[in-house]
Amino acid sequence: MKSIHSALVVSLAISSVNLAAQTPASQTTVLRASRMITISSQSVVRDAVIVVTGDKIVSAGSASSVTIPAGAKVVDLGDVTLLPGFIDAHTHIAGRTLGDPLADYASVKDYVGYAAILGVENARKTLMAGFTSIRVVGSSDFNDMAIRQAIEAGRAVGPRIEAAGHALGITGGHCDENGWKPGLLDRGPEEGVANGADEVRKAVRYQVKYGADVIKVCATGGVLSEGDAVGATQYSYEEMKAIVDEATKLERKVAAHAHGTEGIKIATRAGVASIEHGSFLDDEGARMMAQRGTILVPTLSAGSMVESFTKNGVLKGLRAEKAIAASAGIRKAVHLAAQRNVIIALGTDAGVVPHGTNAKEFGLMVDWGGLTPIQSLTAGTMNGAKLLGWEKRVGSIEAGKLADIVAVPGNPLDDIHRTEQVSFVMKGGVIYKGPGAIQ
């Protein structure tokens, strides 16, 4: 408990400015732009107007159909497309990123709370890239909760966060810390390392006790972990079912890291809400996911990054072999998922990839995965909102929803890579980037 408290104190000390208090509840702002894609209606609205009062959207549509209230502050953004705030359903916001020379040693060299300090800057970069909501699927010492608290208290700038706490995994598996001498990092259910039905239930309860909004579980091996095969199953069906049942009782969804074919099926049968990565998805698994409504979060950005790091020698040996296999498989998996009508939500594995580059995933879903630009945009907005359970709050531009709005130059339906050039960011009615942004 001391480490949890320390992380919170360090993160909350980052700033004493209450950013949330800078937008009066009664203030009305009107956004104007050449075009808008609400996502709920997937066609382009020309000469777009959005009326925002406080933190909510009041109305949205073409200028001819929307009344601009007297005295409202009008922000004319010109030749841009207004979109709902982007959603990244797979991030690791706290700590070091892949490629940092100390990333592999963070667990034994970094002070408690240092990951949260790094996470504050990571969160700011993420928001400025247009991602107004994220899901953090695994963080040591509850650093994701510390960052979430700092943002919600208005003491740091960042996206709305759904946090998992520690990811759950078997002893020696992908969510454990391997490669160290015995006794150095021996962890238990409190840190997410749990075996058997009773221990995994305890692990779920412990994460929820300390603020987990979602439960992350490692169903198979991974690319960056030491000593495990990337596609090998780890938790049994009985253990996975115990995790899902316990999470469901506590009104939490489960996200399953799963590269391997059989691990994907075990997790899907057990009732997880999402499959993360899904590199070796086969037709049977895709049909099963579609039938059960299990969402795929493919993290193509991570596949691209580890592929690049393999080519330039940053990853070597078994890690490099796993990276090549997984990045090749994920391209096929996304095509197959789309063909079988599996719901796809955008996730980047930010932390493996640099924070603030999240929007590259939109282009990869089109260029690698074969999605259309509107399918890609839907994956990074409405589908993400559905996965996070926030579809009534965010994910589309509609009256009554939170005013999470971004702008990109030109038309992203013509060039999906426009999403990488976000020029305006509003989250909850507060402008963080572009004309009228808070200082």
In this structure, is residue 332 part of a structural domain? yes
Say if residue 90 is in the same domain as residue 78.
no
Q: Region 213-234: what's the mean pLDDT?
A: 83
| DSSP-derived 3-state class of residue 255 | strand
Say if residue 131 is in the same domain as residue 61.
no
Both tokens of 87, joined, read 């959603």
Of 388, 406, 425, the residue at which a domain comes to its end is: 388
In this structure, is residue 57 part of a structural domain? yes
Q: Is the pLDDT of residue 143 over 90?
A: yes
Say if residue 45 is in the same domain as residue 160.
no
Instruction: State the pLDDT confidence band at 361, using cuts at 50, 70 and 90.
Output: very high
Q: Choose among 422, 412, 378: nearest CA to 396.
A: 378
Say if residue 204 is in the same domain as residue 303.
yes
- Asked if residue 309 lies in contact with residue 323, where contact means CB atoms within 8 angstroms, the answer is yes
Q: Is the pLDDT of residue 293 over 80?
A: yes
Task: List pLDDT tens digits, range 86-110.
Answer: 999 999 999 877 777 766 666 777 7
What element of type H or E holds 317?
A: helix 317-339
Say if residue 174 is in the same domain as residue 225.
yes
In this structure, is residue 6 part of a structural domain? no
Query: Which backbone phi and psi does 56 adopt, to 5 degrees?
Result: -120, 150
Q: CATH number for the domain including 32?
A: 2.30.40.10
Query: Which backbone phi and psi does 75 adopt, to 5 degrees?
Result: -115, 110
pTM attached to this predicted model? 0.91
Say if residue 166 is in the same domain as residue 250.
yes
Q: Region 322-327: what's the mean pLDDT?
A: 73
Q: Region 126-152: what's the mean pLDDT?
A: 95
Query: Which backbone phi and psi does 271 adopt, to 5 degrees?
Result: 105, 25
- Give the Cβ contact number of residue 69 at 10 Å: 12
Instruction: State the pLDDT confidence band at 14, using cuts at 50, 70 and 90.
Output: very low
Domain ranges, residue 418:
19-84+396-433
In this structure, is residue 1 part of a structural domain? no
In this structure, is residue 327 part of a structural domain? yes
Instruction: Determine the pLDDT at residue 239.
Output: 97
Q: Region 52-71: what's the mean pLDDT?
A: 95
Say if residue 238 is in the same domain as residue 335.
yes
Strand pairing class (160-163; 405-409): unpaired
In this structure, is residue 11 part of a structural domain? no
Share of the chain above pLDDT 70, in %: 88
C-alpha span between 235 and 215 (Å, rounded): 14
Instruction: Determine the pLDDT at residue 48.
Output: 98
Instruction: Determine the pLDDT at residue 99.
Output: 74
Q: Is the pLDDT of residue 17 over 70?
A: no
Say if residue 283 is in the same domain as residue 175.
yes
In this structure, is residue 361 part of a structural domain? yes
Alpha helices in 187-271 (DSSP H): 196-209, 237-249, 261-270
Say if residue 26 is in the same domain as residue 40.
yes
Q: Is the pLDDT of residue 22 over 70?
A: no
C-alpha span between 124 and 107 (Å, rounded): 23
Say if residue 306 is in the same domain as residue 356.
yes
Helix, strand, coil percentages (3-state) for the chain, rounded to 5, are 35, 20, 45
Both tokens of 82, joined, read 């207004």
Average pLDDT of the chain to the nearest whole number: 89
Task: List pLDDT tens digits, range 163-210.
Answer: 999 999 999 778 777 666 677 667 778 888 999 999 999 999 999 999
Task: List pLDDT tens digits, range 328-353.
Answer: 888 999 999 999 999 999 999 999 99
Q: CATH number for the domain including 238?
A: 3.20.20.140
Instruction: Determine the pLDDT at residue 180.
Output: 63
Say if residue 76 is in the same domain as residue 205.
no
Residue 250 per-residue DSSP state: T
First to last CA, the chain: 36
The count of domains in the chain is: 2
Say if residue 98 is in the same domain as residue 67.
no
Q: Is the pLDDT of residue 50 over 90?
A: yes
In this structure, is residue 12 part of a structural domain? no
Strand pairing class (86-91; 28-36): unpaired
